[in-house]
A and B are shown apart, each in its own frame.
Chain A
Amino acid sequence: MEKVGPENKTSANGRKREVIEIKVSSHPKMMRVLRAVSEEIGNLAGLNDEQVVHLQIAIDEAATNIIRHGYKFDSAKDFKLIFNLMDDRLEVLLEDNASPFHPKSSDFLSSVEPTGGGLGVTLIHRAVDEVDYCVTRSGSNQLRLVKYLTGKEVRNREGIVETGK
């Protein structure tokens, strides 16, 4: 796992305090490391205990989807996580270079299979406040997860006032 950062930046969507980037190889063994990192960064961002567990679940399931569906267990591949710590929220970007997918596609919302297919995406949506997917200019898949800090009321991209789950 390669760690880059933290850096200090600002953004229009709330003041950005810190940015932490890590690169992880696409091997299921790395999930334990990722869970530990998610917990530490969730605590650093100011999430409460329950929110940290929810963050871990969302990141875990998203990373699992990249390893299983995106890279099909090819451990030679890797993916990137960018944690944007802001005053009112924690934004996590997961970027991979697998074939493009949409997390709401029928493939991902298929019935619950022995390996958890479909259920993982449902858990992601329930665990965080916002989930977006896009393809970046460089052609990478980018999944954006947002967890608001409890008690903070902010307007999301659609202008709707939200507070942390």
Chain B
Amino acid sequence: MKVSLRQVNDGISVIDLEGDFDLYSSPKAREILLKLAKEKAPAVVVNLSKVGYMDSSGIATLIEALRALGKYGGKLILAGVNLKTMEVIKLARLEKIFDIKENEEQALASTKSQTQQV
């Protein structure tokens, strides 16, 4: 799986994942997500639009990141979740726990509106 990090405006970070987000590849994503939490990133968007499959290791990585960011009020937003990935999230009954947006554009827009509400 390819994992890349981009910084966009207002300190928002976008992580692009490409390939299968599983036992074999999730440590790479975990390392970046926890590093961002340690740096107290205000919001992190995980772009899953190019993820073909996500297993429980991928979900656990996202849960851990959600907890780590949440400790200081940071946000984790999932974008571009395809049907197969969504089915895994639904089976784990986490669809209401994660903030899920249709695409990166909507995810970034939501970080702005959340900032304005504060």
Determine, out of B7-15, B20-28, B70-78, B99-107, the stretch whose residues face the partner at the interface: B20-28
- Closest approach, in angstroms, between the C-beta of A37 and any C-beta of chain B? 13
Chain A CB within 8 A of B63 CB: yes
Cα A119 to Cα B30 in complex, Å, equals 17
Interface centre among B56, B83, B92 (most CB of A within 10 A): B56
Where chain A touches its partner, the secondary structure class is helix
Interface size of A in residues (CB-CB distance below 8 Å): 27
| A-B Cβ contacts below 8 A, count | 69
1/0 contact trace for A112-123 toward B, CB 8 Å?
A: 111111011011
Cross-chain contact of A120 among B24, B56, B63, B64 (Cβ < 8 A): B56
Contacts of A127 in B (CB 8 A): 91
Determine, out of A6-14, A50-58, A145-153, the stretch whose residues face the partner at the interface: A50-58
Tell me the B residues contacting A by CB distance below 8 Å: 20, 22-24, 26, 30, 53, 55-61, 63-64, 83-84, 87-88, 91-92
Tell me the A residues contacting B by CB distance below 8 Å: 28-29, 31-32, 35, 50, 53-54, 56-57, 60-61, 64, 67-68, 112-117, 119-120, 122-123, 126-127
